[in-house]
Amino acid sequence: MNTLKKYNFLLKNLDCANCANKIQNKLAENKDYKNVNVNFSTLKLTLESELENIKQDIVKIVSELEPGVEVIDMHNHIHANKEDKKKPKINKNFVRLMVGIIFMIFGLFINLPRNYNLICTVFAYAILLYRTTKNALKLLKNKVIDENFLVTISCIGAFFIGEQKEGLMVIVLYEIGKLLEDKAVNNTRKSITNLMDIKPEYANLKHEHHEHRVNPEEVNVGDIIIVKQGEKVALDGIVISGEASLNTASLTGESKLLKVKENDNIISGSINEKGLIEVKVTEKYENSTVKRILELVENATDKKAKTETFVNKASRIYTPIVVALALAVAIFLPLILNIQYSESIYRALIFLVVSCPCAIVISVPLSYFTGIGKASKSGILIKGSNYLDSLKNIGEIVFDKTGTLTKGEFGVEEIKPYSSKYTENEILEYAALGESLSNHPIAIAILKEYGKVIEKDKIINFEEVSGKGIKYKIENKEVKIGNSDFTGAKNEDKIGTVIYVKIDDEIAGDIVLNDILKPETKEAIGKLKSLGIKTKMFTGDNKDIAKKIGNEIEIDEIRSEMLPQDKYNEVEKIINKKRETKEKVAFVGDGINDSPVLALSDIGISMGGIGASSAIEASDVVIMTDDLIKIEEAINISKKTNKIIMQNLLFALLIKVLVLILSMFGIAQMWQAVFADVGVTLITILNTMRILKN
């Protein structure tokens, strides 16, 4: 069986959200294509297929549905973009509109001999309706009806019932509206792109006695790059010489400069504000932090929220229903009201114009796209529109303790030998030997305290028991390091994390460590509680430590001495209880040890740190700065995005319904119908831009 291959295309010149839905639906009908998604906000088409060389088929389908849309392979997009920027851009639709208006002026407003007025009017119709008529005819061959059809029928109908001026004004206003709409959508896309303008364009690759600029993709792990003042860090790496102050705002939302020196890890996408450093590359560009973040943000709106999915599905049947209703108005209105058929046809034509669904279809995905971009600027990576939508419904948040509520930076507070056979240094050495093969924060603290080189070759039969401790053999001695249950030690009444050292059958001593609470933790918990969210802390630490920290930050509920499986089971119970309500359950962890619970929860939130790849992979939302305050900010962005979506939908529907009713009673004219279409679309796009404001 062949494996599915993912394809990514750019749909250049796609200027209609409803058209994006049509392309997606048509491609999804093909059984050879899986997970088809057309993202109007990014103009991206993604799908999976076992077939090779599918572009030709994709081009055929897209051109049938949307003439003029160009299908470009994403890997060619950068080069195509650079070429496009070099060429002077001529807006053909603008030129066509101007020529059409000139003919309209001669046809309607200047007295010409013979039949020249009529000829100019016909030419004006032909020029102005060229795009919509061409698209409508091509789509009709594929049994598809869209706004091009509605506008074309309305304008031609107006011509034949003697309303030539009205018909021309409709198409002129419509074309002007479409040009402004395209500009507004492109400006929104540009605003989001500027927010995420973190991709480095080059790297200064160092050779023995010189350097030269190369594409970041050409640099290998182990190569040395030079980052000068004002330049972006091209790849993740370790500083091997020099000092610098890095601006990480576009990655983390943190405005304070990060000072780095020799042996410090740095991430790609940062900007060197001051200094000169040489960096040894630790990750190829394809695995770098900046690449991961860009892919995450670009693909985020592929996962659609329920509101967006509903709008997309509704738009499939919307236009045929509108056409049927317009026919009903044209045929039956004279039977109900005392009017001529020419008048009922005119009202039906207004009905068609006002019913175009662009404002509704565009505003929803564009709002989610903008919300995700806004969050990204603040160092909050949200993996999908569905997660952005769900954040506003969080009713309960469960926090891991270590590395989440606390810094995860343990300090050794006390070392106590239980026998005269061992000194404090020996107890610490045995602990350090075992912990040298672990990545746990406790291990890091013990190794830091020990501060000597470890001879790992002497360690044999190493085993780490999740949530309990580690064991190993050295020089025929069996050593266990961990909690009282694991080592069989009598639990000492001490505040802090107590690690017992057992050598053979004897408890040799203990080491007491304490974690450091993050400075913003108490404020963050308070802000979440003020939103009506219930907060809980689940930790593997003992009852006394958990109670001390929990009381200090005033968290609602404290659960201690929990294994990872216990956390999983308890979160599952909470989710089951909330299933009958709209409330969502979030779990906040460090993205390393809590991956199963992060995946289980409705919304998994990782305290990602600067460039922690494990956090980016494990969760639905990543807080790049480890700042708990960002959770409240993410929830507020979600609420604001949802509020604006509701405003756009209600405004668009109310205006359309109002003009539809007025048109049926002969009060509304065609120019008002055009406003109810393109005018409302423009207003909803401008309203969407408010998401970017604080």
99-106 own/partner pairs: CB under 8 Å, 24+ apart: 99/127, 100/124, 100/127, 100/128, 100/171, 100/172, 100/175, 101/128, 101/172, 103/127, 104/128, 104/168, 104/172
Structure tokens at 135: 């698209």
**Where do the structural domains in the chain lie, given as residue ranges?**
5-59+70-83, 129-192+301-367+641-692, 203-298, 380-407+517-624, 411-514
Residues with Cβ within 8 Å of residue 83, at least 6 apart in sequence: none
Segment among 143-157, 276-290, 507-521 with least mean pLDDT? 143-157
Longest Cα–Cα distance of the chain, Å, equals 121
Distance CA 542, CA 130 (A): 75
Q: What are phi and psi of 126, to 5 degrees?
A: -60, -40
Residue type for position 329: V
Give the pLDDT confidence score for residue 37 in this predicted structure: 86
Sign, CA dihedral 652-681-186-147, equals positive
Q: What is the pLDDT of residues 279-292, one digit of tens each?
A: 999 999 888 877 77
CATH code matching the domain that covers 411-514, chosen among 3.40.1110.10, 3.30.1490.120, 3.40.1190.10, 3.65.10.10: 3.40.1110.10
| CA–CA dist 425, 446 (Å, integer) | 12
Is 278 or 19 the better-scoring residue by pLDDT?
278
CATH architecture of the domain formed by 203-298: Distorted Sandwich (2.70)
Above 60 in pLDDT, residue 537?
yes
Residue 82 has pLDDT above 50, yes or no: no
Average pLDDT, the chain: 84
pLDDT at 437: 86
**Position with higher pLDDT, 685 vs 297:** 685
Q: How many helices (H) and strands (E) does the chain have?
A: 25, 24
What CATH number does the domain located at 380-407+517-624 have? 3.40.50.1000
Residue 305's pLDDT band (cuts 50, 70, 90):
low
Q: How far apart are CA 493 and CA 224, in angstroms?
A: 52
CA distance linking residue 283 with residue 640, whole number of Å: 37
Condensed to tens digits (0 to 9), the pLDDT of residues 217-251 reads: 899 999 999 999 999 999 999 999 999 999 887 77
Distance CA 586, CA 35 (A): 27
Mind telling me the catalytic residues? 400
E-strand ranges in 568-638 read 584-589, 603-607, 621-623
Residues 313-360 pLDDT 10s:
666 677 778 778 888 888 998 888 888 888 888 888 887 777 777 777
Of the candidate CATH numbers 3.90.1170.50, 2.60.40.10, 3.30.70.100, 1.10.10.10, the domain formed by 5-59+70-83 belongs to 3.30.70.100
Q: Do domains 203-298 and 380-407+517-624 have the same CATH topology?
A: no
Look at the block and give the residue holding tokens 């572009």: 55
Residue from 623, 636, 644, 651 nearest 530 by CA: 636
And the tokens for 410?
């343990």
DSSP summary character for residue 231:
P
Joined tokens for residue 381: 């990576």
3-state secondary structure of 617: helix
Identify whether the C-beta of residue 444 lies closer than 8 Å to the C-beta of residue 410. yes
pLDDT of residue 57: 92
The answer to whether the CB of 158 falls within 8 A of the CB of 670 is yes
Complete DSSP assignment for 509-538: EEEEEE--B-TTHHHHHHHHHHTT-EEEEE
Contact 624, 252 (CB under 8 A): yes
Encoded tokens for 594: 């809590």
Rounded-to-integer distance, Cα 504 and Cα 257, Å: 50
